[in-house]
Structure 1
Amino acid sequence: MSTSTSPTPSATATRPRSPADWLRRTHGPVNGVVTLHRRQLYILPTRSGAAFAVLLLTMLMTSLNYNISLGFALTFLLIGIVMACMWTAYRNLLDLEVGAGAVAPAFVGDAAVFALQVDNRDDTARIGMEARAAAPKQARARGPRGSATKDVATVPTEAASLTLDGQSNGALALRLPAQRRGRLALPRVTLESRFPFGLFRVWSYADLPLATLVYPAPETPAPPLPLIARADDAEDGALAVAADDGIDQLRRYRTGDPLHRIAWKHSARTGRWMSRTGQATRDPACWLDWHALPDGLDTEARLSRLCAWVLAAGDDLDIGLRLPAVEIAPGHGAAHRRACLEALALWPERPTS
């Protein structure tokens, strides 16, 4: 009686790693720092180096054919210089430490800046180092719940260069184009050097867990803020001017106000009777409501207008934000503005508290 065996879950889970997975695993950070060891550096001749090698081979064959002693001496001297250049180029990146630095958010259409901290713990200077990251090129693909985005290609970005003295550190600022709102993660960073004469290219990789947020592009020009007028503003004539003690706010005198609430000095200066309210008059609350926008605006246009209004509110005006399934209570200040912008960037996700 024969029995058939099926693969166990453990056997299917332990599939062999591909070379790309192996490279990515070995170039990950250890305690937040990627150290460029000997086994993580790669070197190949450049086009100039390959052309120079052909020239040296031609000189060697000519010297052998015509038995030119001076040709032999010059050829082997240049070969020695090439070998020294190869070691110098390799040494220029050896044992460098690369860590994550500051990350700044960006708006759609701008560039997100990722800072990398590079430490040189050797006494030898490191000259002409470059770092670049391939920015993903986005393409729209239709999914079961509407449109989704996926990465279909990469676009090379501008390289950032750095030169370090011995026992020093510096920063490499990588600029990635912010093509769409949401989370933008730093892809694999390639660090390379062609020092000293550009005959060899030495490079390595660094995979750092850095990410930032891309806010919607603010609408330009945007309509004025939809301020909510208060009913008692015109009746009592409240003024957003502090009284003499710097605490109370002032309004016009009403019949029956107690004498100790009258602002005598301010009334004497202005010629109008003013009373202290006993509480600070706050700016009117402003609700930025998704559903109050015109029906002709699509999703990104709505988010762009709301983003422009959040920026226009500044730090003093109380604003609240209403999105489908997301509501942020009125508030003001830099932290509140950042929370609103994060909600706009991540919508339809809920903002994390």
Structure 2
Amino acid sequence: MVSRLKRSLHTIHDRWLQRRIPPSHRYQLNLKNVFIFPSRFGFGYLLTCVGLFILGTNYQNNLMLLLFQFLLAIFLLHLFVTYRNFTSVSLAVKDILPVYQQDHALLSIQLHVNNESQPFNGGLHMQLRGSKLAVLNRRADQDKEVKLLLPARQRGTFKLPRVTLSSTYPLGFFRCWTHLDFNKTLTIYPKPIPSALKLDASDANQGDAAGNVPGIDEFDTLRSFKPGDPMNRVAWKQAAKGGELSTKTFNQTQQEGGWLSLETYAGEPLEKALGLLSYQINRLSSRQHVFGLLLGNKRIEPATGEAHKHRCLKYLADYRQTINDYAAD
């Protein structure tokens, strides 16, 4: 009953925030999206002021009443100072780069001062809403940036929850905060599992065409030395025997039209099979091999390069997954 009530209240609050602070890639903090309330220390301070007022009134002590008024004035002035400082910046988030399982993604929020005559001061606390994942940058006014590491525990594409940013500058009497939805997603690739390459070139539309291209894998032959050749390629043993200077040439085998397929690991658990494919995609990409990917009813045509690599890895990450809310706990 209690948990159901909490979920209902949480849903109502989310809908209210959706209307009040809609998703955006950049926010200018203002009265509409900022909240302010006394902190615990602020309430203690205010309780002390009330005690001074009661004592001053009871004993008719004008000096104590004057002290109460002075402390209360500082408290009220602090309300405006905290709000003005917090709303002196606009916030934007950097793109979150994909990571592998069991690594950490980086959430980086940039601070941009709106008016140089009114700089932001103090630190900034950042927390993922609904999570214990938080960080405090006490040098936010100098770094103009707040960074939070996000653990990547499960593969897939996840929508980041709202980010709660807060400040208690200058004396901690008030806490000024906001809940921002930067509308960002985090992609987590399967963790690579080392394995031998298993390229299938039996596709009907592709042949097993292999050829040698200049590279660094295997020794090929010797040729006459030319000015500008790398010195580590010179055949020094032959030169030491009195022969002419020669340069070693190497080649590498380039596989065209090779295919990586999930069916190759039909006997393995799904997560392990995806991890094996993840490793092979990285290995083939580092060697600049041309390869394609067969994943269930999805097919990525053979290609090479970083864009092709990340496209294949994203297909692995999203295989049999839906976009869910990111949960750090």
When normalised by structure 1's length, the TM-score is 0.67
User: Which of 306, 309, 318 in structure 1 is aligned with 2:290?
Assistant: 318
Gaps of 5+ in 1: 1-16, 135-153, 243-248, 253-262, 272-279
Cα 1:300–1:345 shift into 2, 3 Å: same
Q: Which residue is 1:336 aligned to?
A: 308
Instruction: Render the CA deviation track for 1:241-297: whole Å, top value 9, x for unaligned.
Output: 57xxxxxx9979xxxxxxxxxx9759xx899xxxxxxxx9642355322112261x2
Q: Which residue is 1:289 aligned to?
A: 261
Q: Secondary structure at the match of 2:131?
A: strand
Q: Quick one: higher RCO (CA 8 Å, sep 6+), 1 or 2?
A: 2
C-alpha displacement of 1:86: 1.8
Q: How does 1:129-278 map to 2 (within 5 A)?
A: 129-134=124-129, 154-159=130-135, 161=137, 163-164=140-141, 170-219=144-193, 222-226=194-198, 241=214, 265=224
1:61 aligns with 2:54: yes
C-alpha displacement of 1:78: 1.6
When normalised by structure 2's length, the TM-score is 0.72
Q: Provide the C-alpha distance between the structure 2 equivalents of 1:94 and 1:55, rounded to a whole number of angstroms.
A: 29
Contact 1:160 1:174 (C-alpha < 8 Å) held by counterparts: no
C-alpha displacement of 1:201: 0.7
Q: Which residue is 1:345 aligned to?
A: 317
Instruction: Render the CA deviation track for 1:113-156: whole Å, top value 9, x for unaligned.
Output: 2333332212222121223223xxxxxxxxxxxxxxxxxxx422
1:22 aligns with 2:23: no
Contact 1:320 1:331 (C-alpha < 8 Å) held by counterparts: yes
CA RMSD in angstroms, aligned pairs only: 3.6
Q: Paired residues, what number?
A: 278
Contact 1:228 1:284 (C-alpha < 8 Å) held by counterparts: no
Q: Which amino acid letter does the alignment assign opposite residue 94 of structure 1?
A: T
Q: Secondary structure at the match of 1:50?
A: helix
Contact 1:290 1:322 (C-alpha < 8 Å) held by counterparts: yes
1:33 aligns with 2:22: no
Cα 1:301–1:232 shift into 2, 3 Å: closer
Q: Secondary structure at the match of 1:300?
A: helix
C-alpha displacement of 1:182: 1.7
Q: Which amino acid letter does the alignment assign opposite residue 19 of structure 2?
A: R
Contact 2:156 2:189 (C-alpha < 8 Å) held by counterparts: yes
Instruction: Provide runs of 4+ in structure 1 moved above 4 Å.
Output: 227-233, 238-242, 249-252, 263-266
Q: Provide the C-alpha distance between the structure 2 equivalents of 1:55 and 1:344, rounded to a whole number of angstroms.
A: 60
